[in-house]
Amino acid sequence: MEKPHSGQRLRTCRACGRKYEYPVKASASTRHHCEDCVAVPVQTLKTLERLSSRLTQLENQLLRLQPPPPPPKPQA
């Protein structure tokens, strides 16, 4: 992997959720999609984006619904 330049940022693909650096010279990745997902047809990308977004929402909802851990017991 190339040395990151000042303008490069770690991004998350909206379709698959993969982390990637953008912009990288000679890379097909865009601001919203990684190199692998750029070649996917637009209608499929829209569906994948919706599913990924919903999956993230459900994961966050599960985290909020989990009970907090019990406080540590004092040692006698």
Provide the domain limits for residue 42.
9-64
* pLDDT at residue 62, as a whole number: 95
Domain-embedded: residue 46: yes
Domain-embedded: residue 1: no
Domain-embedded: residue 70: no
Domain-embedded: residue 75: no
What is the rounded CA–CA span in Å between residue 70 and residue 57? 26
Number of domains in the chain: 1
- Are residues 32 and 14 in contact, defined by beta-carbon separation less than 8 angstroms? yes
Full 3-state SS string of 7-21: CCEEEECCCCCCEEE
* pLDDT at residue 6, as a whole number: 63
Reported as a single tens digit per residue, the pLDDT across 9-62 is: 899 999 999 999 998 888 899 999 999 999 999 999 999 999 999 999 999 999
**Residue 68's pLDDT band (boundaries 50, 70, 90)?**
confident
What pTM was estimated for this model as a whole?
Answer: 0.69
Closest CA to 19 of 3, 7, 39, 36: 36
Domain-embedded: residue 41: yes
The secondary structure element, H or E, covering residue 71 is: none
